[in-house]
């Protein structure tokens, strides 16, 4: 993820950018809801994926600094994603 972020032609700090315009998508809630519905997963929220991402990074042995960089500013002070490491 870090390599892709650094290789990106975009200066924005977003994970999901339009590959044609290099601008961030305005809203992916409809697409997420549609995918969730098709998968018949009722109790899954966008933020759940953020926690899973942080947990998996921790389980893979990523440093707190790497996790913080990949998760962005919202990570500061939230170490719940790292609990899987301990």
pLDDT digits (tens, 9 = 90+) for 2-31: 676 666 655 656 777 777 887 777 777 888
The pLDDT value recorded for residue 4 is: 66
Which is more confident, 33 or 17? 33
The pLDDT value recorded for residue 84 is: 46
Each as own residue / partner, the long-range contacts of residues 83-86 (CB below 8 Å, 24 or more positions apart, any chain) are 83/55, 83/58, 84/55, 84/58, 84/59, 85/58, 85/59, 85/61
Which range has the worst mean pLDDT, 13-17, 43-47, 48-52?
13-17
Q: Are 28 and 17 in contact (CB under 8 A)?
A: no
What Cα–Cα distance (Å) separates residue 23 from each residue in 9, 27, 49, 74?
Answer: 10, 12, 22, 21
pTM: 0.50
């Amino acid at each position: 993820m870090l390599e892709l972020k650094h290789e990106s032609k975009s200066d924005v700090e977003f994970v999901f950018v339009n590959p044609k315009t290099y601008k961030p998508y305005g809203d992916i809630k409809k697409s997420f809801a549609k995918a969730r519905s098709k998968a018949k997963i009722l109790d899954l929220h966008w933020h759940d994926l953020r926690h899973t991402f942080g947990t998996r990074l921790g389980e893979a042995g990523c440093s707190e600094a790497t996790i913080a960089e990949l998760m962005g500013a919202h990570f500061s002070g939230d170490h719940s994603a790292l609990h899987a490491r301990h």
